[in-house]
Structure 1
Amino acid sequence: MTSSSPDLDSLRLFLKVAELGSISQTALAVGLSQPSVSRSLRALEENLQTSLFHRTGRGVQLTEVGEQALARARALVDGADQFADDIRDQARAPTGVVTVALLTAYMRDVAPDLFEEVRRRFPGVVLRLLESFSVQHEDWLASGRVDIALVTRYRKPSRDGQEVLAVSDMVVVGNPAIGSGEELMPFRELASVPLVLPAAPNGLRVRMEDVARRVGIRLNVVLEADSIEAQRALISRERCYLLWSQHSVRQAGIDHLFASRRIVEPRLPRYVVMQTTTHHPLSRASREVARILRRLVLAAHGQVVV
C-alpha cells in the first residue's frame, strides 16, 4: 500500500519545530496543545518512514535526514504560498507600486509612453520612476529598491535574468570631423583623440580601459563627465569627442550635427538589458509593467513587437 504524501500543514509544523527547537514552544506559537504537535510530528515521520528529530531533555534537534528534509519542505511550502498568491493576483486587476529605474535617454523617450499605457490599462498600478547609471541600477536591484531596471553592458550578458533588448555599436562622435573622413575607426587611433568619458566604475570606461591595455595604447581622456547633457554641451563648444552608441547618437538627434566614426578592431557593442530584482518575487503588477517596458524599448530600437 502506497503512503500518502505529507500535507502542507504537517510540513509547516515541521518547519516551526525545526526553527524553535522545542515542541512545547511550537505548541504555544501555533496555538495547539503539546500532545497535538507531538502526534503530528510522529505521523509525519511514520509517513516518511524516518526520524526527523532527535528528542533530548532540552528539546529536539534535526537528524541528518531531517536537515535534508528541511530545505525541501521549505521550498514546497514557499512554492505553495507563491502559487496561491499568483492565482489570487490573476483573479483581480493588478495593483500596487512598481518601481522602475531607467537610463537617462529612455527616461526622456520611453517614460511618457510607459506612464500613459500603464495608467490606461492598469489604473490600480502606480509607477515610481528613478534615473541613474547602470552601476546604481544594479545596486538598487540587489537591495530590492527597484523592481525593474534598464542597464547597459559592454560585454554580452551571460547570466539568467538579463534580457538583451537591443545591441548598438559604439562610435566616436564630435565636431569637427575625426581623422580621414572614413566611416570606421580602428580602436588604436583613439590614442590621438581628445576624449570625454565617464569616470570609473562606469561600464563603458572600464571596458575602454581594458581594450586600451590589450591593444597597447593609452586613452587621451581630457575630461571625465558622467552627465550626458554635459558631454553633449562640451562637444558643441570644444574640440573633443564622445564615445556613444550609434542608437544614442540618433536618439539624441545629433547625427546630422556632428561627425562620427564607428569603432572597430575590436568592435565595441553596447547591450541594453532589462533586469528584474531577485530580492523579492515580482508582483503581477511588476510583470505587466515589464512587458510594456520591453515592448516600448524594442520599438524605440526599430523592432516591431507583435
Structure 2
Amino acid sequence: MTHNIDIQTLRLFLKVAELGNISRAADALSLTQPSVSRSLKALEQTLNAPLFYRTGRGVQPTAIGLLAIEQARKIVEGCDGFVRDIRERSGGPSGVVSIALLTAYMRAFAADLFDEVQQKYPGVILRMVESFSAQHEEWLSSGQVDIALTTQYRALRVANEDVLAQSDLALIGQKPLGSLSQDIPFRDLEDIPLVLPASPNGLRVRMEEEALRQGIRLRIIFEADSIEAQLALIRRSRCYAIWSEHLARQENYVNKLYIRRIVEPTLPRYVVLRTTTHHPLSRAAREVAHLLRKLINDAHAVR
C-alpha cells in the first residue's frame, strides 16, 4: 500500500518538534491548534508510530520521533533545494545571501561587492554583518550566514582552506620604537605595553603560546577586541597593538603609525573565506562568494 505524506505535513511536524508545543507551532504556522493536532495524528497513523510524548508543558519526541525528525528534515531541505535550483536555473541567481565580514574588510569591500552584485545579479539581496572571527565561525556552523571571512594563525589549519590573504604580524604604535624599517624579535616584546584582544581570540592565543614557548611574559595593559578601540588607545598613550602588516596597509596607516614586523619567529595571519555546511549553498551564494574572492584577490594583487 502506498502512503502519501505531503511536504506541508512534514513542515508542520518539524515546527512542532522545534517548539515542543502544539499551540505555539499552530500560532507560528497561522493554523488552529485542533488542525495541527489532527495533522499530527494522521501522520502518526500513516507511519504507524507515536512521534511525541504528550506532557503537561507540551510534547517531546519519542525515540522513533527523533529518527522521523532527522529524515523529515532531509526531505524538506531536499525539496527546498530542488525548488531553489530549478528557479535559479530558469533565470538568474536570486534570493538573500548572508555574509559576515571582518571590520576592515567591511569598510574596504562592502560597497564594491554591493555594486558588483547589483550589476551582475539584480535578483540577489545581500545581508552583511560584521564581527570577530570566532563569532563568524558560530554563525557559519548554525547557518545564520552563508559566507564569512575568518582569521587563522596556523598554517596547518589553513592547508585545505580558501586563503585570501596572508601577512605577518607586526607591532603597531604612535611612538617610535627603534628604526621605522627595523624588525623586532618576539622576545623584545616582553617589556612593551601591549593592547591585545581578550581571550580566547585567536591572535591572543597565538601570542601567549609563543610567549610561553620563549619563557617570557607579555605586558598586556589593556584588552580591546575592536580595531577602533585599539587605535584610539595607541594614539593617546605610549602603548602598542599587534596587527597584521596587511591590515595596517589596508587601513592606510603606513604613513601615520610606526610599524615593525615581528620576527624570530614571524607569525603569519591568514584571512580565510569559508561557507556554511549547515545547509546546501545556493547558486546565489556561490556566485557572491566568487565575486568577493575576486575583489579581495584583485585588491591584494595591486598592492
Name 2:112's counterpart in structure 1.
113
Amino acid at match of 1:89: E
Name 2:218's counterpart in structure 1.
219
> What is the Cα deviation at residue 75 of structure 1?
9.4
Name 1:292's counterpart in structure 2.
291
Q: What CA RMSD, in Å, does the superposition of the two structures yield over aligned residues?
A: 3.4
- Between the aligned partners of 2:158 and 2:220, the Cα distance in structure 1 is 32
> Is residue 93 of structure 1 aligned with residue 92 of structure 2?
yes
Name 2:122's counterpart in structure 1.
123
> What is the Cα deviation at residue 179 of structure 1?
3.5
- Between the aligned partners of 1:248 and 1:154, the Cα distance in structure 2 is 14
Name 1:140's counterpart in structure 2.
139
> What is the Cα deviation at residue 83 of structure 1?
7.0
> What is the Cα deviation at residue 131 of structure 1?
0.5
Aligned residues with identical type, % of pairs: 55
- Between the aligned partners of 2:175 and 2:241, the Cα distance in structure 1 is 12
The answer (yes or no) to whether the contact 2:211–2:217 under 8 Å persists in 1 is yes
> What is the Cα deviation at residue 159 of structure 1?
6.5
The answer (yes or no) to whether the contact 2:84–2:282 under 8 Å persists in 1 is no
The 3 A distance-change label for structure 1 pair 213 and 27 is: closer
- Between the aligned partners of 1:160 and 1:168, the Cα distance in structure 2 is 16
- Between the aligned partners of 1:108 and 1:200, the Cα distance in structure 2 is 25
User: Which whole-Å deviations, capped at 9, do the CAs of 1:158-202 have from their partners, x for residues lacking one?
Assistant: 468731111001100112211465621111111011100010111
Amino acid at match of 1:209: E
SS at match of 2:165: strand
The answer (yes or no) to whether the contact 2:152–2:158 under 8 Å persists in 1 is no
The answer (yes or no) to whether the contact 1:247–1:301 under 8 Å persists in 2 is no
Give the 5 Å matches for 1:261-280: 261-280=260-279
- Between the aligned partners of 1:122 and 1:182, the Cα distance in structure 2 is 45
Larger Rg: 1
- Between the aligned partners of 1:181 and 1:284, the Cα distance in structure 2 is 47
- Between the aligned partners of 1:146 and 1:264, the Cα distance in structure 2 is 36
> What is the Cα deviation at residue 93 of structure 1?
1.0
Name 2:241's counterpart in structure 1.
242
SS at match of 1:239: coil
- Between the aligned partners of 1:259 and 1:78, the Cα distance in structure 2 is 52
| TM-score, normalised via structure 1 length | 0.71
User: Which whole-Å deviations, capped at 9, do the CAs of 1:61-111 have from their partners, x for residues lacking one?
Assistant: 9xxxxxxxxx9xx99998899578545522321111110000000110100
- Between the aligned partners of 1:208 and 1:253, the Cα distance in structure 2 is 24
- Between the aligned partners of 1:84 and 1:97, the Cα distance in structure 2 is 15
Give the 5 Å matches for 1:57-72: none
The answer (yes or no) to whether the contact 1:194–1:241 under 8 Å persists in 2 is yes
User: Which whole-Å deviations, capped at 9, do the CAs of 1:243-282 have from their partners, x for residues lacking one?
Assistant: 0111111111111122221111111000000000000001
> What is the Cα deviation at residue 233 of structure 1?
1.4
SS at match of 1:110: helix
Name 1:176's counterpart in structure 2.
175
- Between the aligned partners of 2:242 and 2:44, the Cα distance in structure 1 is 65
The 3 A distance-change label for structure 1 pair 160 and 145 is: farther
- Between the aligned partners of 2:300 and 2:212, the Cα distance in structure 1 is 32
Amino acid at match of 2:136: H
The answer (yes or no) to whether the contact 1:178–1:260 under 8 Å persists in 2 is no
Amino acid at match of 1:129: M
Give the 5 Å matches for 1:25-40: 29=46
Q: Please, which runs of 5 or more residues in structure 1 have no aligned partner?
A: 1-8, 17-24, 31-60, 62-70
Q: Which range moves more in the overlay, 251-260 or 270-279?
A: 251-260
The 3 A distance-change label for structure 1 pair 303 and 278 is: farther
The 3 A distance-change label for structure 1 pair 182 and 285 is: closer
The 3 A distance-change label for structure 1 pair 282 and 181 is: closer
SS at match of 1:301: helix
SS at match of 1:288: helix
Name 1:5's counterpart in structure 2.
none
SS at match of 1:287: helix
Name 1:229's counterpart in structure 2.
228
The 3 A distance-change label for structure 1 pair 96 and 150 is: same
